[in-house]
């Protein structure tokens, strides 16, 4: 086995990313306070070719040194927009025919492994605050609530880890 060199990876240019076919997913970050988490979600979103990221509430916006540090250039490739109020963002997405999915532990949530995305459907995936998660007001307007099963003593993953798990699972199920 040999480690591949950067030039062997077939990486897209920023322009190729912007014009390329995207996974029909919008990532919504609601009140995410850590700029390192925000940057990591940008980088993961680039890796899975998501449509865009909506930054809401207290979620910081690029350009910022702490976001750039972990995004490694993904703030230049992934489209993003800021909303003061997450419900405004969600209402706009609903008007554009997105199904709204929150990632949260809730009554009636669906195990991520059991979720089957509908064909030809666009999804917006909402990730919440590091401490409080997705607010009840947002959960109330979601079409689905997905949960990642956990078996240890902690009852949460870091938001950047959660985004990686969810986007990986959905990209495989949606057959990009």
Q: Tens place of pLDDT for every residue, the chain, 176 residues? A: 999 999 999 999 999 999 999 999 999 999 999 999 999 999 999 999 999 999 999 999 999 999 999 999 999 999 999 999 999 999 999 999 999 999 999 999 999 999 999 999 999 999 999 999 999 999 999 999 999 999 999 989 999 999 999 999 999 999 75
What pLDDT was estimated at residue 16? Answer: 95
CA pair distance 150, 152, nearest whole angstrom: 6
CA pair distance 123, 22, nearest whole angstrom: 12
CB 113 within 8 A of CB 107: no
- Report phi then psi at 55, rounded to 5: -100, 125
Q: What is the pLDDT of residues 60-102, one digit of tens each?
A: 999 999 999 999 999 999 999 999 999 999 999 999 999 999 9
Q: What is the pTM (predicted TM-score) of this model? A: 0.96
What pLDDT was estimated at residue 17? Answer: 94
Spell out the domains of the chain, with CATH numbers in brackets. Answer: 25-148+158-174 (3.40.1280.10)
Q: In what order do the strands lie in the sheet with 122-127?
A: 79-83, 50-56, 23-30, 122-127, 98-103, 144-147, 110-111
What pLDDT was estimated at residue 105? Answer: 96
Element (H, E) at 88: helix 86-95
């Amino acid at each position: 086995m040999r480690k591949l060199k950067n030039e062997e990876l077939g990486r897209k240019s920023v322009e190729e990313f912007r014009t390329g076919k995207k996974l029909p997913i919008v990532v919504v970050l609601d009140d995410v306070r850590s700029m390192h988490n925000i940057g990591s979600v940008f980088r993961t979103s680039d890796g899975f070719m998501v449509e865009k990221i909506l930054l809401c509430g207290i979620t910081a916006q690029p350009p910022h040194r702490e976001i750039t540090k972990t995004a490694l250039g993904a703030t230049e490739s992934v489209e993003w927009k800021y909303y003061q109020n997450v419900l405004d963002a969600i209402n706009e997405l609903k008007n554009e025919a997105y199904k709204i999915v929150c990632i949260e532990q809730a009554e009636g949530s669906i195990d991520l492994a059991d979720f089957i995305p509908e064909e030809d459907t666009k999804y917006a995936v909402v990730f919440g605050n590091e401490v409080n998660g997705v607010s009840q007001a947002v959960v109330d307007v979601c079409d689905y609530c997905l949960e990642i099963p956990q078996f240890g003593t902690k009852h949460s993953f870091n938001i950047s880890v959660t985004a990686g798990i969810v986007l990986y699972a959905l990209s495989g199920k949606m057959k990009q």
